[in-house]
């Protein structure tokens, strides 16, 4: 409750300064959030580096073909994003789908359809 009051107090001080520039305010400046990252930015940071190698390692270690969403979760957990997986998972799964499709075009992986016909299972092309 106190932070909301501080925010409102700072807003009033801003309005007063607009109408009376000589007015002084005791309201302290609100510190800017240092962490401005969004789930999309965290995904971009996560995917820097040699992602293909990590994807191939996870596919090799998988006992059976795996969905892109499950693969992306395993990758994020391995990279230390355990607590944020729910936030970044939708963005990451979409990026992994695109990466897997490009890897399929180069012959590194292959896919097969699932019973629902909407998703694909991925494995290393052997």
Domain count along the chain: 1
Q: What does the angle CA 95 – CA 101 – CA 103 come to, to the nearest 5 degrees? A: 105
Model confidence pLDDT, tens digit, residues 40-75: 666 666 677 678 888 888 899 988 999 888 888 888
Residue 64, domain member (yes or no) = yes
Whether residue 103 lies inside any domain: the answer is yes
- The sheet with strand 120-124 has its strands ordered as 66-67, 120-124, 109-113
User: What is the DSSP code (8-state) at residue 64?
Assistant: S
Name the burial class of residue 30, with classes exposed (0-12), middle (13-18) and buried (19+) by CB atoms within 10 angstroms of its CB: exposed
Please give the pLDDT value at position 105.
93
Residue with structure tokens 């962490």? 35
Residue 94: which H helix or E strand, with range? helix 85-105
Average pLDDT of the chain to the nearest whole number: 77
Say which CATH number the domain at 73 has.
Answer: 1.10.10.10
Question: Per residue in 93-124, pLDDT tens?
Answer: 888 888 899 989 999 999 887 777 778 888 88
């Amino acid at each position: 409750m106190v932070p909301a009051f501080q925010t409102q107090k700072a807003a009033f001080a801003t309005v007063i300064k607009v109408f009376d520039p000589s007015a002084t305010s005791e309201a302290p400046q609100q510190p800017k959030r240092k962490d401005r990252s969004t789930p999309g930015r965290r995904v971009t940071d996560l995917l820097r580096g040699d992602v293909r190698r990590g994807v191939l390692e996870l596919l090799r270690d998988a006992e059976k073909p795996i969905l892109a969403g499950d693969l992306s979760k395993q990758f994020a957990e391995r990279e230390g994003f355990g607590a944020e997986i729910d936030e970044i998972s939708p963005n990451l799964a979409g990026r992994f789908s695109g990466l897997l499709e490009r890897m399929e075009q180069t012959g590194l992986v292959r896919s097969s359809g699932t019973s629902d016909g909407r998703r694909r299972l991925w494995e290393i092309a052997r």
